[in-house]
């Protein structure tokens, strides 16, 4: 990957599917867990998904619910959350809707307290919510716009880490996945705030992974690449969306990273190449 100092590379051999009445998750090369389809693979798991009202967050929330998790869906858009809830319930799943602007850091703290009171734990955190920000030269960007991008893409995730770590430690296998972008390593021109925020997010997640390496928590990054989302269309309005994969296709690869059988931490899954990448220090 351009700009990232990457070490070992592992290919992700397959996406989730069904075979002879069993649900199969190809988690790592050479490691496949088969679970009777009568027992959802994420049954009894509590999953918090941010940015869940549309795009990758919406698709991931639905996929997690289909796999048996109770989804705590967070987004600013009430209508999108209600649509998600309808779809999850149609499929026999369950969800808790949390209309919340993640720049409300006290609100995140209250959410953590509510999760503790109601469930006593958190098994899965998917930090997906993000803001693209302005597509302009850095010298033309107002400080307010810069702060808005950093507030959601970095500080909100930091607050989520602070408020969910005790809950993830209560789980027998806490899992966290943060959605990043190749812009972090490519330092994409005219997307400076977005690129800088994703670089910061990657460092934040990697540091947290090292801090929790001796625990049952596993923390990783997910780079979806170009996907058919509203954010992508806002940045590249001339692009044909039909040439891009869908959020539903991406979600199939996020769900296995949330399973208790997932053992890797501090790594990055690159959807474009279906590869799990290790970071290494330069030099």
Is 105 noted as a catalytic residue in this protein?
no
Separation of alpha carbons 185 and 281, rounded Å: 14
Separation of alpha carbons 253 and 241, rounded Å: 20
173 neighbors 123 (Cβ within 8 angstroms): yes
Separation of alpha carbons 185 and 272, rounded Å: 15
105, 190, 194, 271: the catalytic one is 194
Separation of alpha carbons 98 and 77, rounded Å: 10
276 forms beta bridges with 10, 269
Residue of 272, 278, 219 lying closest to 7 (CA atoms): 278
Catalytically active residues, by annotation:
194
């Amino acid at each position: 990957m351009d700009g990232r100092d990457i070490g070992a590379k592992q290919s992700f051999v397959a996406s989730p599917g069904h075979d002879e009445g069993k649900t199969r998750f190809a988690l790592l090369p050479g490691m496949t867990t088969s679970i009777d389809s009568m027992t959802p693979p994420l049954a009894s798991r509590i999953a918090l998904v941010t940015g869940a009202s549309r795009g990758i967050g919406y698709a991931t929330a639905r996929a997690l619910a289909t796999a048996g998790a109770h989804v705590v869906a967070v987004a600013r858009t009430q209508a999108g959350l209600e649509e998600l809830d309808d779809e999850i319930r149609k499929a026999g799943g369950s969800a808790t809707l949390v209309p919340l602007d993640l720049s409300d850091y006290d609100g995140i703290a209250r959410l953590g307290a509510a999760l503790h009171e109601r469930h006593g734990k958190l098994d899965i955190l998917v930090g997906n919510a993000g803001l693209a920000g302005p597509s302009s030269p850095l010298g033309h960007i107002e400080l307010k716009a810069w702060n808005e991008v950093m507030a959601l893409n970095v500080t909100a995730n930091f607050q989520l880490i602070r408020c969910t770590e005790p809950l993830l430690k209560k789980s027998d296998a806490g899992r966290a996945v943060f959605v990043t972008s190749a812009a972090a390593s490519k330092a994409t021109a005219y997307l400076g705030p977005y690129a800088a925020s994703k670089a910061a997010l990657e460092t934040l997640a990697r540091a947290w992974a090292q801090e929790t390496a001796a625990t049952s928590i596993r923390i990783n990054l997910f780079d979806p690449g170009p996907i058919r989302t509203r954010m992508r269309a806002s940045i590249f309005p001339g692009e044909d969306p039909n040439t891009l994969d869908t959020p539903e296709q991406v979600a199939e690869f996020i769900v296995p990273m949330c399973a208790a059988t997932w053992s890797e931490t501090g790594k990055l899954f690159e959807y474009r190449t279906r590869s799990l990448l290790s970071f290494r220090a330069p030099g």
